[in-house]
Chain A
Amino acid sequence: MKGKNLKSWLYLLPAVIFLACFMVYPLVDVVVYSLEEGYNSASQTYTGVGIYNFSYVLRDPYFLQAVKNTLILVVITVPLSTGLALLISVGLSSIKKLRELFQTVYFLPYVTNTLAVGLVFMILFKKTAYTDGLVNLMISWFGGQGVDFIDGPYWAKMFVLCFYTLWIVMPFKILILTSALASVNKNYYDAAKLDAATPWRIFTRITLPMISPSVFYLIITGFIGAFKAYSDAVALFGVNLNAAGMNTIVGYVYDMLYGNSGGYPSYASAAALILFAIVFTITCINLTVSRDHVYY
């Protein structure tokens, strides 16, 4: 038995080593960092222990800007992407011809490099001295006033960020919802149809309750994902997000850690923990709400 135990642990050893070094230890360490005041990364010394790092971060205007940006992004993209994905998935599951083609096309953004395609979005939306860009051209077709979405007013930049985020997150949501819809037994629809339920009533009374676990799963992961937004913003506005006023919380963490403004792992840790607290709280709220509304 002893030999058997030993052998089992041998199988687990690589995984345990990796997890211990790169997950468990960092997890403890990040808390330690966040409490070490005046940490100097060059000399690896600190002056005291306390919550100064948290209060510094919470007063930092860049952090507050990042929180504001992230919140706006979350509030706009999570409901919008879930709703739109629901609409598209319902449409998708009501057709037979071309269905597979549409599904494949819709999934494409999932396998693309966020940074690379972000560049395409940038040139589509950007207005330079040489060209107004395609989107502004379209706006002018409808008689609108062009605007630089990349270096222009705040709302325009936020619009592109939300738009690009939407484009990136839709494939996953469409995929999850189409497979949820496909797993609903067709008999329920037939029964409801025979009972003269209108399509809208079938959707709200039958379809939605049946796929509610998937919808809530998407809302929860959607919140988590949107709170961690970063690389899409970098793709659109470049690495200096603070200058563009478009930083996100995760962006703030990395900026504190590295780059021109970096070298403050303590502040980064504090910000990361604050982010984790926010996400954790929202997830708990989501789970509580879903328990009341998901019938499974």
Chain B
Amino acid sequence: MRNDHIQKLGFALLFLCVIITVFFLGSIIYFIVVRGAPAISWEFLTEVPRRAMTQGGVAPAIVGTFYLTIGAVLFALPLGLACAIYLTEYSPKGAVVNIIRMSINNLAGVPSIVFGLFGLTVFVKFFGFGVSILSGSLTLAMLILPSIISASQEALIAVPHSLREASLAIGATHWQTIKRIVVPTALPGILTGVILGIGRAAGETAPILFTAATFYMRGYPDSVFSEVMALPYHIYALMTEGTKPDQQTVIAYGCSLLLVVLVLLISAIAIYIRQSRRKIYGH
């Protein structure tokens, strides 16, 4: 074959791969929207479930997902940021830090169901928090901690050395430099990591399976020690349990649509922040 034919074949194959990928991604969105949209209504968003969940809404699950996610970020952000600051700014460079860094990266690859079991053993049983918002939030926090640490580390490392020098050269201490120059400059990057973490925490089912989620609640949780409904677990429960599969499937698709929109919105915020950061730095 002549070279230009091989080239054309190559481009054609690449294009085919793109088409296949776009087809699957598009059909996921299509099916979720088509099947989920009929379930969405004002009642669906604001009411508690009724009649074994075949009627009413999923408001407690929305609220539950909200609480769990906020809780996870409240735990993971300070902890993760502190770790990242220590690892990038203070720790001596060497074998120990490299091992810690590698462990954190490996932690990011641990399957989420393993975090679920960990949460059950440690938070639910050992600390005695029970199946609760607290246990679930802590478990989700563990899950998103590695990505928050990595994102924060990257953001901190990306702060130009010249800014640290500028600050130190006018008599700032190392801590003042970190607090007033390095972290604020890295903030957009850190927030991007946090927001992606939020998206992940909102969507995960396995970690809350044993630690926080309940199938059915008539009302709303009243303390951090309450069990909660959550959207991802609600979808799982609707599809595996209950007695009226037909009606439940529609609601499950409705919840899926809600969850996808929620995560997309959250990612959109991350993208927006990244863009505005580019504007500040002019590149």
Chains A and B come from one and the same complex: no
